[in-house]
Structure formats: C-alpha cells, structure tokens
Amino acid sequence: MRIERTNQMSDFLKCLPFEREVRKKGREKNRESDMLMMIESMLLNPLFGLWIAYDDNGNISGYVCAVLNPMPGSKKLFLLRIYAKQKELFDQFENILMEWAKKYKVKVCSMTVTSNVKAFQRKYGFTPVSINMEKVYFK
C-alpha cells in the first residue's frame, strides 16, 4: 500500500464513489457539488491536505482531507473527511496528520459529526467538547 499527498482535482475525483457511499448512508448532508467546489478552491493552499491510499493494484483504499488553522488561540487541525475501511489505514492516516500538524505546532484535531458520536468516541478516541448550533438566515 502507498499513500500519496496530492493537490490534483483529478485525483480527488477518483474518490467520488466513496463520497457517494458516505452520502447514501446519510453521513453527509452537504451537496456533492458544494464539496467539490470547496476542494477545488483549497487544493493549492498549503494548509489544506489531501492524501489518497492505493493498494498494490493501484485501487483507492481510502483518503483523508483536512485543513490546518495555525492561528494563535484557535490552533486546530480540522478533519473534513477520513475514509478508511481498515483500522490500520485509519491509523496510518492519523500518523500522517499528526506529523503534518506538528510542523505548525498544532496539537488538537477537531471534526464535526452529525451522528454516531459514541462510535467516534469509542473507536477513535474523540471527545465531544461542544455543541454546534445553527440558525438558517436564508431559505
């Protein structure tokens, strides 16, 4: 298995079948087109990271997208998506993210979940720290 960091939209487009699976399971509510526009706008930003894992046959095994915020007072790595069916691949992605964050002296990884909070606590060691509240301004 090899894991490569990329800033090519064509590489991310190969991950769309996995994104569609996530949406079909109800784990993502944002539109695919909105996500694609965000990814495309961020690809050349050094504080945005996209890594894709390939098996020995060149097939995608998983991927991870994250954004670093190195600003004092709000230093965090924001995990946007991690898709890894095997725990070992999740661990490899997490090690990559930790090394990347360390370069910017970022110590905290944050993510937003809309379901399965207990599973993320138990399986991956995340801790809920706040409640996100929203108010719709436009319909």
Domain ranges across the chain: 2-124
Amino acid at 1: M
Give the tens place of pLDDT for each residue, 44-73: 999 999 999 999 999 999 999 999 998 888
Strands 109-110 and 76-84: parallel
Per residue in 76-123, pLDDT (tens digit) is 999 999 999 888 999 999 999 999 999 999 999 988 777 777 777 887
Q: What is the mean pLDDT of residues 131-138?
A: 69
Confidence of residue 74 (pLDDT cuts 50, 70, 90): confident
Band (pLDDT 50/70/90 cuts) for residue 31 is: confident
Q: So what's the pLDDT on residue 135? A: 62
Model's pTM, two decimal places?
0.83
| Fold held by 2-124 | Aminopeptidase (3.40.630)
Contact between residue 90 and residue 84 where contact means Cβ atoms under 8 Å apart: yes
Q: How far is Cα 123 from Cα 43, in angstroms, rounded to an integer?
A: 30
